[in-house]
A = this chain, B = another copy of it.
């Protein structure tokens, strides 16, 4: 058995950074009971090994006028590869995420749009952008996300 990649202190640091990605090293150091330098070294290491892939801001998109969310299940021609699905779908600015799926459907697309009219346009562009054979769209009424 190899040494574990992430110990309990690392998990505490990750939890603190999930709650507030701009927490200072000194604040985290006080919480986990290490020095500032030790915490920085752990965070640097977590980035190096790829556990931490980045930091980002959380945005309320409805306040920016993109109030409607939906998921679209896509079915593709049997010859279509996962890479091709991601490439064509992610080209649309309305596409927030692309999940390729085992079985039926072939992909699940997370869309964020201004309104229902905009949703229709986005779905139509999705349909035309690849070898899409069918779609089913789920309109999101409410969202809860962890953290």
Contacts and interface: CB of A to CB of B under 8 A. Distances in A.
Interface of A: 5-6, 14, 17-22, 49-60, 63-64, 69, 71, 82, 86, 89-90, 95-103, 105, 108, 138-147
A58 B17 CA distance: 9
A108 B132 CA distance: 22
Contact of A5 (B55, B63, B146): B63
A52 B56 contact: no
User: Which secondary structure dominates where chain A touches chain B?
Assistant: strand
Contacts of A14: 57, 59
B147 A56 contact: yes
12 contacts: A6-B64, A17-B57, A51-B59, A52-B58, A53-B58, A53-B60, A56-B56, A56-B58, A96-B145, A99-B142, A101-B141, A105-B138
Nearest to A52: B57
A138 B22 contact: no
Which of A49, A60, A69, A142 has the most chain B CB atoms inside 10 A of its CB?
Answer: A142
A102 B119 CA distance: 14
A99 B140 CA distance: 6
Nearest to A71: B108
Contacts of A22: 21-22, 55
A97 B143 contact: yes
Nearest to A112: B146
B96 A146 contact: yes
